[in-house]
Structure 1
């Protein structure tokens, strides 16, 4: 290897100016934070995205953007999400597709409405006192402002796309299509109004979708409650003495005597963490497969609310735990109960003072598979208005629904004992309802025990306040109702079509996403579409005045009316629904306006985003021919969010999923694996990373990580990312420096290249397959790790290291140097395009250093085709063997360098002993001294002496150190016997020829 400066101790001519040292304006220090904005401006100026769209004859590839909410600065999850999307789009574009990306924003819904309400509250105003259209316009203005802010923040990350014309769910056309898509459910008969429990936010006074719910720990009251048995069913009972009798209720006492008479005063005990639901109880559920027993309390600890002598019915497996909770010290079993169906209980508040007969009714015991004996008492208190299992029991057994809880989370004013009391306050805090019920239960003698429990509990993702299940009239889409819409290729119901799509039509990355979405879709209830809010697309339907929801003509189904609504929204936006006289305008001449009521609920915002396939993929010129995207890509939480709602919506209106692929990423955590939280002070803001490191470092962090799992990020991780970046940058700098002035006239055909170059081409052919496959499968970590290893191990540590000497010191027209530069050119075109989807700014800088020009851009290029015949497996196997021996030689020389025996490897001429004859022949077929960067070398098959250096992992190879003989060439620094015997003083034959060729 040559030196960049001559040996200062030598009495020689200075040959520094004759060496082909690397020349490049590409700096070692990237300066990304300051330089990246300039490239962004350049791309916008030359119109890179539009010029890519103008390329003809390319197969389309469409990633459909899941819209973020337009309501705040970007967080690190946004950066992860959009960067992965950008890598997908850019890589497919460079692989020859017309890769379109239309960014979008979700502009309706609670997150934005809540921000405006916060502003109102800060001013002491009430939203309900403001004209609804004026309020909606403020929401629209708020969203517009954040769209502009977020757009610039996304662009700063290097995200490519149609930023000039994004989609917004609040655009008039979008609102018109959302309404039109909703009315397809109206017309196909799947829309209905029902009354059932839904997740309800007393703070926001609206129903919430499952995707708007998050779970946090909450400490709740817990109570064990007695339900007195008033009538036993005609069932088999095994008494404690082992006798068995078939008992009729009236014959119980007579048949079994005194011991059996204890059952007449027994109580069934339930356990609940929601005491406020006791007034709504209408049944107690049991599981026929569970073994139940009756136990008598014999002794209690002081302070217990249990009573000596009382008889309790419990699941056999839960007796000990339940009695311990009530401080019962001793008990005995009275009977085993094999079946409890037809047993009747009294409500805990039956005949309570001040109850006004509200709870003086029979409470049936009903069989339910959802009951377990894993916790509680083995019985489930059932309030059909306040839980899904409870509601299903109500439907099955025709239990009455209750309407005791108002929208603000308080009991109805006329409910005895508890009227007007809040379950949750307007601030999301616990109201008096739970404690009032506990006191009432105690006063009625029904409280067996009480306590508190910390458990995971649903909260609103916006207000962060706890939620309740509340029965309210809502609008639903029936997902199991057969549809006669002519789109039954994949099933006749929405659920069937969704499951079929998941099973057969969609590829999931990672594959586990299929099972997750399938399980959710398989078990989900009907879709709740309505929200009691103001900012959104209204449910554009009319109901017949005086009709019941179950009546056939309850909903107005009129295509002409629907068409008028769509036209009005297209021209004036959804605000027109709230304009005075709109109903009359829509129904005029078609129906009697006085016969119908207008619905003013708004659609679940997930219906908005679920409909985007219609107004983006189907309707836009840069959409898709069939309205189906190649891929949807979001966080794993969107299995219950956007993936889910889009699937439901499209299966109802298209008959299948709107996507062919679903890609999911995990969440972002701090370096310790903790969830990021402002209160913990561990949040990482993308803008700060960009400011300190540059966007390419953030993008490289994304590429280095397995995005399918949760991601960790922090200062130390980013330092490691920056180090990887510097090593890659050095690789590109070496390429640029040694390609200076390269012309096509220098190019050497692959067939004429030395073996070392042909080995590099073989590696490029291998990598081309790996890289393209990785990008097709969205495996950016695999692509990056493969390329990083190639750059640092194959190139920097081997090929560049070996070829520096030829590149710097060979004559300009030598085959070896020309072949090396030709190979560097081939490397350049592949590495820049392969890495461009990840390091968008850096690779552009690299490209422009070689190919400057007003309209030049790497991002207008495709990945070059790599000839298959570059692959040469025998050659690759040979060079793998050579590299193994090379490792032994370099390790042996490092020992000598550490011992100060030599300063550089060129001072050595080792003897290498190789036992294997084939390996020895392979070494002798090349200039192995050149490969090992020594001035000389002896290769021998003789047995290695005892003192030879060896590596255990490379058996059969021993290296004996010897110093090189001769004088040091003052141009290339090799120590050779012929130095000093040529026309040019102190040079070797190779350097003497090079100098002569230069006219020196």
Structure 2
């Protein structure tokens, strides 16, 4: 006998233990920057573009974040999701470029530059606009560079050396050109109507620049004395009562609105004063005013004599037609002395709150504006851009600001004057409601009527738009729902609602633009946009209903801003007619000037040169407003997708947070529909927001901000990437220490699985491979499971369900491999002969698994997958990200094997459960010491013995039973087997291996 008979020998040198330098400890925070540096050095992104130049293309268009401040968790969630998409599409063999971009114009950046001026007690308005714009450009450039490095640190693969910036000269030229397309087709008009206005920032705001906060406002009840009532003369001398939470709109009041179907009533107080208000609102009015109102039947006899002309106590709203009242401050003369007509506002006047009579200020409410306009009442522009009444205004001229709480308070100048005039019936500073604020300055906004530029939603263009066939839209137009907003009081309209939603807003059709020549048969922008929504794939599908409702109800697009930093509206307006100039030659010169000198060229231009010889600058005024920044970002498809990949090319995917239904998704849709007749995308994916561990919005004031940069510095970007991939990001997602701990645990298991495979494959070559037809059933079963996983992962990529992708991958690697396949086959790996067919089959499957799993993991764990790949195939010039989807071996007839092995696994679980109590009680130390009896034998006993990792397996009746074996333990493989003569001796298998 050889050394196999020596029971004292240490046999470890004869065992094939896994061998690898791949460390168990990740150390990602230190390793990842070096991997990034190597990727940049060998040009991974650029080489991928070369390798896939002829492949099918997949275009994800990056929505531009503002170049302002360090990245936050929302940025991380968004950018990582985009990287998962592009990397997975690249893995599928497609050419999936990623061009990152930044929104460089607009209020957020300008506001930060202004803050620096304010700290120095300087006035930005006194600075040369070109100089100020240069400072904005420098500020944006600084943050582009900062954010670029932070996004790269997340492992985002893209064209970082040539991103798109809305402030590049070429970009600004194309943005201007896109606007001029609207102008040339007549889809542009200038008009004065109420828009959202920030008195602090002195500019109109886009809907996406507004957020809502709960505030406490002053509410007042004001009496307007009725002076004329041709249909109900008994009302003369009575006071129509209005209720409002915006006292500052009373100085701009021009009318009163009633509901034709509302039942009004004349009430009397103890002094005999008559008040007109809705019958249903009497009790609420009494609570606010403290008055005890009486009806005719309970009026005292001494007052009844004065009321004998009253015919009927109840006044139908329709009888208020033609009535007039006087303003409480009529004694000031001029504007205030004009009678205030009663107008039929039945489409918005209700009896839900207030008094049933609404005061109208057409300068400060959409309903007010359209109702008064129909009656020939125009705005008066009393409130200036800073929120103060203009200096020449008879009441409170030069005072304000109207959003100042003290100014509008119950003891402020407005209420004080109304009280002295005897018109203030009630005032209290306790009305709680939601109110819109500027997203940037956090200050309250107002509705303010100013001259602005609009793109109409419901006006056909005077020319065909290229794109999809829209003949069906023309033949049968969809009815556009235009809901009226509930009005409770004064001219602010929307601002007085309890919880207004801007996406629910709509307006009556706008007046026709001054430009002529419009066609009557073409589809409107609203119709085109709704048609494009129907033709687009929305993920999740419910997102389609949300954006459709927003587009159905949105007002005309206000595209002008009264700021300095942005792309100007490059139009010339005729000084006499007010029409804007439409001339292709002039437009071409403007675009070329922008291309050469950027948007600054408009502010420093010789406008006569741009106008050319056919027009005289004395007849035309250049527009000084700048474009809404959403028009900038809505035009990015033109200078990113089309400019780089060809005219008419659309993005395969837009991917942003759910707030972009009223932001970038919508502005891009409207811009493209207006200029191309279609959407700029074929699919749109919406994700939720990143919240703290308790589901709250992150806020510095709450101290609950989770900083992605700190996570990267402490744990590495792959941990953050795995968290993103593991979340159901179609909903809001939570992150905190406990969540990240779970993610780190999952990562550690995946890393250890790769480490095991690397060690188990040490020295493996193609010569060791064995055909599938020669493999044991267990290996064929695992390959079948791998094939099932492969199909599932492809499906999740198609549906952008990376939470299912990561879950399926993690479950396969943990449950099917580590806890099952690897556990069973470790004895074969360690102790079988190197050329044993079963061991060769196992290592062949391990090799197949390795090539598949490292690819599957690469889109998510981009750094770790690179480390794993380089550990087995080290090469300075290679990368795992050059690889494509794995090709798996064909597995004919494996369905039956799968069914059989699922029952085996179920039985194994029952055996493991039965062994565990004996292990806890230390009857046995491992399953190798267990004698197992099972009720069924789906495989031969020696196979089950290996699968259960037990000493022996017997067939019995009833439940699974386990007891300690009397078999001795092999000194080499440590299995307790019947053919081992004594502890430490070798089993037959090990003796054969040693003898060879």
Q: What is the CA–CA distance in structure 2 between the aligned matches of 1:367 and 1:819, rounded to whole Å?
A: 83
TM-score by length of 1: 0.89
Residue 315 of structure 1 and its aligned partner are, at CA, apart by 3.4
Evaluate the alpha carbon distance shift between residue 910 and residue 968 of structure 1 in structure 2; reply closer, same or farther with a 3 A threshold. Answer: same
Deviations 1:500-536 (A, max 9, x none): 0001x21111112111111111111111111111111
Matches within 5 A, 1:68-217: 68-217=65-214
Corresponding position of 1:12:
8
Does the aligned pair in 2 maintain the 1:347–1:360 contact within 8 Å? no
Evaluate the alpha carbon distance shift between residue 992 and residue 286 of structure 1 in structure 2; reply closer, same or farther with a 3 A threshold. Answer: farther
Residue 391 of structure 1 and its aligned partner are, at CA, apart by 2.2
Corresponding position of 2:808:
786
Q: What is the CA–CA distance in structure 2 between the aligned matches of 1:883 and 1:201, rounded to whole Å?
A: 66
Matched, 1:388 2:375: no
Matched, 1:353 2:331: yes
Does the aligned pair in 1 maintain the 2:388–2:402 contact within 8 Å? yes
Does the aligned pair in 1 maintain the 2:240–2:277 contact within 8 Å? yes
Q: What is the CA–CA distance in structure 1 between the aligned matches of 2:844 and 2:892, rounded to whole Å?
A: 14
Match of 1:414 among 363, 376, 392: 392
Listed as ranges, the gaps of 5+ residues in structure 2 are: 297-311, 474-522
Evaluate the alpha carbon distance shift between residue 777 and residue 868 of structure 1 in structure 2; reply closer, same or farther with a 3 A threshold. Answer: farther
Evaluate the alpha carbon distance shift between residue 155 and residue 429 of structure 1 in structure 2; reply closer, same or farther with a 3 A threshold. Answer: farther
Deviations 1:281-308 (A, max 9, x none): 223333345x42315256xxxxxxxx65
Q: What is the CA–CA distance in structure 2 between the aligned matches of 1:938 and 1:718, rounded to whole Å?
A: 45
Residue 394 of structure 1 and its aligned partner are, at CA, apart by 2.9
Residue 265 of structure 1 and its aligned partner are, at CA, apart by 4.3
Residue 129 of structure 1 and its aligned partner are, at CA, apart by 1.4
Q: What is the CA–CA distance in structure 1 between the aligned matches of 2:242 and 2:893, rounded to whole Å?
A: 73
Corresponding position of 1:315:
278
Q: What is the CA–CA distance in structure 2 between the aligned matches of 1:232 and 1:603, rounded to whole Å?
A: 47
Matched, 1:558 2:583: yes
Corresponding position of 2:60:
63
Matched, 1:545 2:587: no
Q: What is the CA–CA distance in structure 1 between the aligned matches of 2:544 and 2:374, rounded to whole Å?
A: 32
Evaluate the alpha carbon distance shift between residue 779 and residue 233 of structure 1 in structure 2; reply closer, same or farther with a 3 A threshold. Answer: farther
Q: How many residues align?
A: 922
Corresponding position of 2:30:
34
Structure 1 stretch displaced more, 454-463 or 32-41: 454-463
Corresponding position of 1:276:
248
Residue 233 of structure 1 and its aligned partner are, at CA, apart by 5.9
Corresponding position of 2:636:
612
SS where residue 757 of structure 1 aligns? helix
Evaluate the alpha carbon distance shift between residue 448 and residue 346 of structure 1 in structure 2; reply closer, same or farther with a 3 A threshold. Answer: farther
Residue 624 of structure 1 and its aligned partner are, at CA, apart by 5.2
Q: What is the CA–CA distance in structure 1 between the aligned matches of 2:77 and 2:230, rounded to whole Å?
A: 61
Matched, 1:450 2:427: yes
Corresponding position of 1:645:
667
Deviations 1:857-896 (A, max 9, x none): 1111111133564673322221111111111111110011
SS where residue 522 of structure 1 aligns? helix
Corresponding position of 2:511:
none
TM-score by length of 2: 0.89
Matched, 1:464 2:442: yes
Match of 1:876 among 894, 898, 910: 898
Match of 2:728 among 703, 706, 712: 706
Structure 1 stretch displaced more, 351-360 or 829-838: 351-360
SS where residue 313 of structure 2 aligns? strand
Match of 2:762 among 728, 740, 745: 740
Residue 606 of structure 1 and its aligned partner are, at CA, apart by 0.7
Corresponding position of 2:624:
600
Corresponding position of 1:296:
267
Does the aligned pair in 1 maintain the 2:203–2:385 contact within 8 Å? yes
Corresponding position of 2:500:
none
Q: What is the CA–CA distance in structure 2 between the aligned matches of 1:454 and 1:542, rounded to whole Å?
A: 46
Residue 348 of structure 1 and its aligned partner are, at CA, apart by 5.7
Residue 219 of structure 1 and its aligned partner are, at CA, apart by 1.6
Evaluate the alpha carbon distance shift between residue 335 and residue 35 of structure 1 in structure 2; reply closer, same or farther with a 3 A threshold. Answer: same
Does the aligned pair in 2 maintain the 1:761–1:823 contact within 8 Å? yes
SS where residue 643 of structure 1 aligns? helix
SS where residue 972 of structure 1 aligns? coil
Residue 354 of structure 1 and its aligned partner are, at CA, apart by 3.1
Deviations 1:377-420 (A, max 9, x none): 33332212111222232344433222111111100111112111
Corresponding position of 2:965:
964
Does the aligned pair in 2 maintain the 1:287–1:372 contact within 8 Å? yes
Q: What is the CA–CA distance in structure 1 between the aligned matches of 2:332 and 2:196, rounded to whole Å?
A: 31
SS where residue 70 of structure 1 aligns? coil
Does the aligned pair in 2 maintain the 1:276–1:433 contact within 8 Å? no
Does the aligned pair in 1 maintain the 2:295–2:313 contact within 8 Å? no
Listed as ranges, the gaps of 5+ residues in structure 1 are: 1-5, 235-248, 251-260, 299-306, 549-553, 915-919, 945-957
Match of 1:798 among 820, 839, 842: 820
Corresponding position of 2:612:
588
Residue 593 of structure 1 and its aligned partner are, at CA, apart by 1.7
Q: What is the CA–CA distance in structure 2 between the aligned matches of 1:785 and 1:65, rounded to whole Å?
A: 26
Deviations 1:761-787 (A, max 9, x none): 111111111111111211111111111
Does the aligned pair in 1 maintain the 2:328–2:423 contact within 8 Å? no
Q: What is the CA–CA distance in structure 2 between the aligned matches of 1:319 and 1:865, rounded to whole Å?
A: 78
Does the aligned pair in 1 maintain the 2:226–2:326 contact within 8 Å? no
